[in-house]
Amino acid sequence: MAFYYSEPSRTFNEYLLVPGYSSSECIPANVSLKTPLVRFKKGEESAITMNVPMISAIMQSVSGDRLAIALAREGGVSFIYGSQTIEDEAAMVARVKGYKAGFVTSDSNLRPDQTLADVLDLKDQNGHSTVAITEDGTPNGKLLGIVTGRDYRVTRMSTDVKISEFMTPLEKLITAPEGTSLKEANDIIWDHKLNSLPIVSNDGHLLYFVFRKDYDEHKKNPLELLDEKKRYVVGAGINTRDFAERVPALVEAGADVLCIDSSEGYSEWQKLTIEWVREHYGDAVKVGAGNVVDAEGFRFLADCGADFIKVGIGGGSICITRETKGIGRGQATALIEVCKARDEYFKETGVYVPVCSDGGIVHDHHITLALAMGADFVMLGRYFARFDESPSAKVNVNGTIMKEYWGEGSSRARNWQRYDLGGKGKLSFEEGVDSYVPYAGKLSDGVQQTLLKVRSTMCNCGALTIPELQEKAKLTLVSSVSIVEGGAHDVVLKSSTQQVR
């Protein structure tokens, strides 16, 4: 006879936090949202600690290189989507790692015999306004000059004019020699009021650029998440089919952490994938796994050696797994059980395996609820898909600006590897939809507003850190009528002619 759970599974919307005592120290400015990303032993620290508890979903419509840079700037980690060629995914990772190295290898390069049209095309492709002009048009060719937006005016110049006619030539540039430190480079930039400084080898070849904006951005973003070389931290998705080819390419590109992208993680496929990573890289390569919804699934992946474990099946806004296959569990119930198993595992083994809540986040306060229930961080898809930096297009739908958002199990993505059960390499039926989400502007504005709410709620609970919130939190189930009571009701809103009841 099948096993029956005695209690229904719950969603985040069925819970509220009950406030606790708040001291005068409990103000949002004093709250730390630091949280471990990967497993660690008792008495040690995690090899990667995030400054905010947010990672982006491994999805085509969410996690490209632009979003990865923007999220790392805010203190979180993006996982570049794996449902693309190995070469393309590795290239995205490399672009993120090259963006914030202090010394940046130029990715905008042309020859002097090319034209203004080539400059404009290149700018459209990568958005960068500084173009290195080298003898052969390569990143490390002999430097002949640079082109910036100050060197041309599209309205007054023909697009077929040669770059050599309007570039700033080498003899008019301020450069620095090979071996210049980052501090020395920044001093030169400030002393000469430059936007960029080329670092040139002894034989005149371009090595790197140092940009003023990188220094400015660091000062504006004190929580940005950097590796030991001052590059942005970035993750990447892998699958259980081509990991032997994909993992080496992503590691070579500089990925800081990997994650197996699968709709259901309690399987031998994930065990084999993790074992392969451990056999070839030991503990040097960090790899998360999932998704699971109960203690058994957590214990299985923890014993396999997963560095973090994702919780959630069927709770995503574009996921229809529960409808099509009848599997899953309410996100709150799944998270509570798995986090309890995580704590028991830590007591038994002395190894702490962080838990990621993936799916079911509808409102900002659901993030705080997930953290209170034990999650170390949350994975978000719809939330990040709304911002400028996501890879999807902005469209006008009935007068409202929207962004396209589709699931990895949709016909559009056709990410069959995510739903792989060892059969043919195809998506047999859809487990996701193709949709729109309301456009929400810049990621930084949205994330900062959301985290202000999280910090504020934590203060209401008398907590200044995530572990303290998990220790002090008091959660109560709410009835359907109390959910109605919690919103605006029995008034006529000024933005509507209808009465809210």
Active site residues: 319, 418
Cα(119)–Cα(149) distance, rounded to whole angstroms?
10
Tell me the two tokens of residue 16. 């509220």
* Of the candidates 213, 212, 218, 216, the residue with the CA atom closest to the CA atom of residue 230: 218
Backbone angles phi, psi at 68, to 5 degrees: -60, -40
Give CA 192 to chain center in angstroms: 36
Assign 404 to helix, strand or coil: strand
* Of the candidates 360, 397, 412, the residue with the CA atom closest to the CA atom of residue 382: 360
* 211, containing H or E segment: strand 206-211
> In one letter, which amino acid is 498?
Q
**Do you find a cis peptide bond into 195, omega within 30 degrees of 0?**
no
Using CA atoms, how far residue 7 sits from 10, 12, 321, 373, 486, in Å, is: 9, 15, 21, 17, 25
Assign 11 to helix, strand or coil: coil
CB under 8 Å to 21, separation ≥6 — which residues? 462
Which parts of 320-372 are beta strand (E)?
351-352, 355-358
CB under 8 Å to 186, separation ≥6 — which residues? 210, 215
Bridge partner list, 50: 35
In 263-363, alpha helices (H): 268-281, 295-304, 321-325, 331-349
Torsional sign, CA 217, 219, 220, 221: positive
